[in-house]
Amino acid sequence: MARLRNLVILTGAGVSAESGIATFRGPGGLWEGHRVEDVCTPEALARDPALVHRFYDLRRAALDTVEPNAAHHALARLDAAWPGDLLIVTQNVDDLHERAGASRLLHMHGELRSALCAACGIREGWAEALPPETECPNCGMLALRPDIVFFGEMPYQMERIEAALAAADLFVSIGTSGAVYPAAGFVQTARHYGAATLEMNLEPSGGSHWFEESRMGPAGALVPAWVEELLAGA
Ligand code: BJW
């Protein structure tokens, strides 16, 4: 562990599950009551903006009822204490990593508490409901939409992520099913550039075989233990 300097940590819905935010897939998953193609594509947004905006309004409002859990707090502690480069790449659109105190963080699939103008591209912090045809504070067009990366759209900050993966000594994936690309391919990119790889998940993910080490269990228990282990050797 002492040779490690640069860390990239990918998080998914499993890291927020113990905070009470439903994961996407599997029993009780967020999309059990919705067809993915009804809410999570640009075509669905164009077809029924009211449905899509309402879906994300409800989830934005629900953020007020949840708190970061032990996994978020442990990662924030690691972020604050780790002397080398570190990047937390979250697929999650909740704000629990930052509320725990993490700062070396990016949201590759967007953020619930942000609105995106489909006309001018500005991203604006947004805490309230976002009805369709809300006026953009920058360009005045009625084109604000949830700032969420839908299927078929390019995730945010891919160049920065790829540079971090290329420089990583250790790539860690936490609480993600490995069902959605490009995030599901990060482990292969990291390995290609020589990083060690570790997965922490409740159960083996779709990409488990790519990881050198897998630890199975709840993130709220596994992540704090791993962070202590890592900082003890830093
Ligand atoms: C616990 C736990 C606990 C539970 N402790 N663990 C064919 C082949 C390959 C790719 C494609 C293809 N056709 C289309 C594509 C591309 C497509 C894609 O991947 N589709 C797949 C369905 C195949 N991807 C895209 O379109 C992306 N864009 C893109 O590719 O652009 C082009 C490009 C080209 C080149 C380079 C780069 C880009 C965009 C993807 C956008 C994803 N957006 C969503 C929706 C966000 C909005 C919302 O919240 O509603 O992001 S989809 C959804 O899935 C969400 C998540 O971030 C993402 C990943 O889900 P995640 O986090 O893994 O959650 P789950 O529920 O799947 O898994 C949770 C895991 O946690 C489980 O394993 C549990 O066991 C575990 N767990 N409790 C630890 N307590």
- Separation of CA 177 and ligand 1 centre (Å): 8
Query: Does residue 207 have its Cβ closer than 6 Å to ligand 1?
Result: no
Please count the other Cβ atoms lying within 10 Å of the Cβ belonging to residue 72: 29
Cα 171 to ligand 1 centre (Å): 18
Report the C-alpha gap between 85 and 90 in whole angstroms: 16
Q: What is the CA radius of gyration of the chain?
A: 18
**Residue among 49, 21, 47, 36 nearest 146 (CA):** 49
Residue of minimum CA distance from atom 15 in ligand 1: 181
152 alpha carbon – ligand 1 mean position (Å): 12
The residue nearest atom 38 of ligand 1, judged by CA position, is 154
User: Does residue 211's CB lie within 6 angstroms of at least one atom of ligand 1?
Assistant: no
34: its two tokens: 């919705």
| 185 CA to centre of ligand 1 in angstroms | 11
Pairing of strands 123-125, 144-148: unpaired
pLDDT at residue 3, rounded to an integer: 81
45 pocket-lining for ligand 1 (C-beta < 6 Å): no
pLDDT of res. 37: 67
Instruction: Examine the residue annotation and report whether 107 is marked as an active-site residue of this protein.
Output: no
Dist. CA 14 → ligand 1 center (Å): 12
The reported pLDDT for the residue numbered 39 is 75
State the amino acid at position 157 in one-letter form.
Answer: Q
DSSP state of 25: S
Q: From CA 168, how far away is CA 82, in angstroms rounded?
A: 14
Q: Which of 32, 151, 214 to mutate to test the pocket of ligand 1 (most atoms within 8 A of CB)?
A: 151
Ligand 1 pocket member 180 (CB < 6 A): yes
Q: Is 60 helix (H, G, I), strand (E, B) or coil?
A: helix
Burial class (CB in 10 A: 0-12, 13-18, 19+), 201: buried
Task: Please identify every stretch of the chain with a pLDDT value under 50, giving residue numbers as ranges.
Answer: 1-2
**What is the pLDDT, as a whole number, of residue 2?**
45
The pTM score is 0.96
DSSP code per residue over 113-179 = EEEEETTT--EEE--S---TTPPPTTT--S-EEEEE--TTSPPTTHHHHHHHHHH-SEEEEES--S-
Specify the pLDDT at position 233. Answer: 87
